[in-house]
């Protein structure tokens, strides 16, 4: 059975993707895999590993070139993911960064948001995360307690999140918050918080049974003010449908 899989070639793996596969395998095995044991000991990857991965062209492969990406599709992302994991490099949450956070900006962000964040995510200058899970509600989105209440041209974000992948190293986080607590699920919006914003605080880097080299964190928001222009979507209350 093992030999069958070793000799198996996917029907969608064309010449272009085979070249990408070879390049990704060489990069992850030579540049990052030797660091993995040390990352396990420290509980997270080095921040510079993200810059190296971006410089090598292995972040945001599915994002159009006008926003700094490679202009590929899900196949390119899949090839990169396979070679990263085949090399045993699980300290970088590139799947969250490239396949979840970046597409939110691409599909729901304004042109200004795309230009502001996507090129930096593709280069590794900014690491992305998404914060849904909370200490007391888990991933029951309708009952989340984190709020983002509008005050003029800003949202004031308060609350706590937990088990956030990339949480120790991220530079921006999509926060699932209630912009109208009276409306339940219809009052939830996605608010982007850059982690150098006053009132944002990282909590513990949580220990796990697996993926010991990957940072998974608590996050706290205390009167954290962000511009209204950091909301994803044209109006409030679109968060659940976007998710």
The CATH number covering residue 74 comes to 1.10.540.10
Write out the two tokens for 129. Answer: 């995360």
Buried b (16+ CB within 10 A) or exposed e, 212-243: bbbbbbbbbbeebbbeeebbbbeebbbbbeee
- Are 23 and 117 within one domain? yes
Residues 80 and 118 in one domain: yes
Average pLDDT, the chain: 94
Lowest mean pLDDT among 88-92, 176-180, 208-212: 208-212
Are residues 203 and 141 both part of a single domain? yes
Per-residue pLDDT averaged across 120-138, rounded? 95
Residues 90 and 139 grouped into a single domain: no
Same domain, 80 and 140: no
Judgement on whether residues 12 and 98 belong to the same structural domain of the protein: yes
Q: What is the pLDDT of residues 197-238, one digit of tens each?
A: 999 999 998 888 888 888 999 999 999 999 999 999 999 999
- End of a domain among 123, 139, 161? 123
Mean of pLDDT values over 162-168: 96
Give the SS3 label for residue 130: strand
Domain containing 218 equals 128-242
Kindly state whether residues 23 and 86 are assigned to the same domain: yes
Which CA distances in Å does 99 have to 127, 165, 195? 12, 13, 20
Q: Which residues contact 147 (CB under 8 A, 6 or more apart)?
A: 157, 158, 159, 177, 178, 179, 181
pLDDT of residue 6: 60
Which pLDDT score is estimated for 8? 63
Residues 8, 112 within the same domain: yes
Q: For the residues 156-160, what does the mean pLDDT come to?
A: 99
Q: Token match 């080299």: residue?
A: 213
Average of pLDDT values for 151-174? Answer: 98
Q: What is the CATH number of the domain that holds 210?
A: 2.40.110.10
Rounded distance between C-alpha atoms, residue 219 and residue 117, angstroms: 21
What pLDDT was estimated at residue 1? 36
Strands 216-227 and 172-178, sheet pairing: unpaired
State how far the Cα of 199 lies from the Cα of 156, in Å rounded to an integer. 10
Regarding whether 114 and 9 lie in a shared domain, the answer is yes
CB of 175 closer than 8 Å to CB of 162:
no
Q: How many domains does the chain have?
A: 2
Does residue 141 share a domain with residue 102? no
Copy the structure tokens of residue 52. 């190296």
Give me the pLDDT at residue 117, please.
Answer: 99
Q: What SS3 state is found at 34?
A: helix
Do 10 and 114 reside in the same domain of the chain?
Answer: yes
Which one of 95, 123, 151 terminates a domain? Answer: 123
Shared domain for 47 and 70, answered yes or no, is yes
């Amino acid at each position: 059975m093992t030999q069958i899989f070793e000799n198996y070639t996917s029907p969608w793996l064309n010449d272009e993707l085979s070249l990408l596969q070879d390049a990704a395998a060489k990069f992850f095995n030579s540049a990052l895999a030797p660091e993995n044991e040390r990352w396990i000991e420290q509980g997270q990857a080095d921040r510079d590993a993200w810059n190296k991965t971006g410089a090598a062209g292995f972040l945001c492969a599915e994002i159009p070139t006008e926003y700094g990406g490679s202009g590929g599709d899900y196949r390119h992302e899949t090839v990169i993911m396979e070679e990263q994991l085949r090399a045993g490099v699980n300290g970088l949450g590139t799947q969250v960064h490239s396949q979840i956070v970046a597409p939110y900006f691409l599909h729901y962000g304004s042109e200004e948001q795309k230009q502001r964040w996507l090129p930096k995510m593709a280069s590794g200058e900014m690491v992305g995360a998404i914060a849904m899970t909370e200490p007391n509600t888990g991933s029951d989105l309708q009952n989340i307690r984190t709020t983002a209440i509008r005050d003029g041209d800003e949202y004031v974000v308060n609350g706590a999140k937990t088990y956030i992948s990339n949480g120790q190293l991220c530079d921006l986080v999509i926060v699932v918050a209630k912009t109208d607590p009276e409306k339940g699920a219809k009052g939830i919006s996605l608010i982007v918080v850059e982690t150098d914003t006053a009132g944002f605080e990282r909590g513990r880097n949580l220990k796990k049974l697996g993926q010991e080299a990957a940072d998974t964190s608590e996050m706290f928001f205390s009167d954290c003010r962000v511009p209204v222009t950091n909301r994803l979507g044209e109006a409030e209350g679109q968060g659940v449908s976007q998710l």
